[in-house]
Chain A
């Protein structure tokens, strides 16, 4: 609950303690953290009633509810088909301002089963007008000569690139896919990725400019077309 009342008398000291300052210490109405409570730029016109009930902006730790291990289990898929083989995984973010949370959505899939999308949520306070940014740092390599890969898909941001998270659709999306739809053999993707998120409001980053991250997640995808398995051991001479 905010230190700042929702009506009646309001003091600069209440604003200061709400942002973590010590009661009675020096504070200015134009301090960045005080302005940050109501999303105002330096030197902007402000009136005290704009601070009624304002809460210090905060972002909870990575994927604190739902499937809180997000994205995990994830990234491991192997599929074999005589005609069409595909294995892949994706991860996406969206800001849900109606529920004050960042949504994480992730899936690992193959062409022989229905897709299962898992969700996790990361709540925030006072960041509805913030710009959320997502980033993935990845290194994934392809092996095999048949078929094709999305490594990652063309719409996925490049590695180590902060991208604005949408408030209306799941964007950005990172997706890796191995597909073999002609010929015979295996196409694979293998590597690791770490996903990040941060929010920016009035020049301040939450939790900081580095952001929260998922920890390193492995990717191991394999699609095989054809019915021939690996060679067996040699017989007696």
Chain B
């Protein structure tokens, strides 16, 4: 089943509580890195993971 939007970004961010945001590989479901804010997670992903 298709969940979420159709984008070319192979990652999702999982929020488990107010200060835990984990970048996860959407294909392998492997945790990449965890941050305390959504902004920090997004910045890391766009800077270091997405070409």
A interface residues with partner B (beta carbon < 8 Å):
65-67, 84, 86, 88, 90, 107, 109-119, 153, 155, 173, 175
> Measured between C-beta atoms, what is the minimum distance from B30 to chain A in Å?
15
Looking across the interface, which residue of chain A has its beta carbon closest to that of B46? A114
> Measured between C-beta atoms, what is the minimum distance from A136 to chain B in Å?
16
Q: Is the CB of B5 within 8 A of A116?
A: no
A110, B5: Cα distance in complex, Å: 6
Q: Is the CB of A114 within 8 A of B11?
A: yes
> Measured between C-beta atoms, what is the minimum distance from A170 to chain B in Å?
8
Q: List 11 A-B contacts (CB under 8 A).
A: A84-B6, A86-B5, A111-B6, A112-B5, A114-B11, A114-B42, A115-B7, A117-B13, A117-B15, A119-B15, A173-B3
B40: CB under 8 A from chain A?
no
> Measured between C-beta atoms, what is the minimum distance from B3 to chain A in Å?
6
- B1 neighbours in A (Cβ, 8 Å): 153, 155, 173
> Measured between C-beta atoms, what is the minimum distance from A221 to chain B in Å?
11
B interface residues with partner A (beta carbon < 8 Å):
1-7, 9, 11-18, 21, 26, 38, 42, 45
- A112 neighbours in B (Cβ, 8 Å): 5, 7
Contacts A114-B9, A114-B45 known; A90 to B14 CB distance under 8 Å? no
From A90, A111, A119, give the contact of B7 (CB < 8 A). Answer: A111
Contacts A114-B45, A116-B38 known; A90 to B3 CB distance under 8 Å? yes
A10, B38: Cα distance in complex, Å: 52
- The 3 A-B pairs with the shortest beta carbon distances in the complex, nearest first, are A115-B4, A111-B5, A118-B15
- A115 neighbours in B (Cβ, 8 Å): 3-5, 7, 12-13, 26
Looking across the interface, which residue of chain B has its beta carbon closest to that of A77? B5
Contacts A114-B9, A116-B38, A117-B12 known; A66 to B3 CB distance under 8 Å? no
Q: Is the CB of B7 within 8 A of A114?
A: yes
- B21 neighbours in A (Cβ, 8 Å): 116
Contacts A109-B5, A173-B1, A175-B3 known; A114 to B12 CB distance under 8 Å? yes
Looking across the interface, which residue of chain B has its beta carbon closest to that of A106? B15
> Measured between C-beta atoms, what is the minimum distance from A31 to chain B in Å?
40
A33, B16: Cα distance in complex, Å: 35
- A109 neighbours in B (Cβ, 8 Å): 4-5
- A107 neighbours in B (Cβ, 8 Å): 3-4
A82, B13: Cα distance in complex, Å: 26
From A84, A88, A116, A155, give the contact of B12 (CB < 8 A). Answer: A116
A118, B5: Cα distance in complex, Å: 16
- A66 neighbours in B (Cβ, 8 Å): 16-17
> Measured between C-beta atoms, what is the minimum distance from A119 to chain B in Å?
5
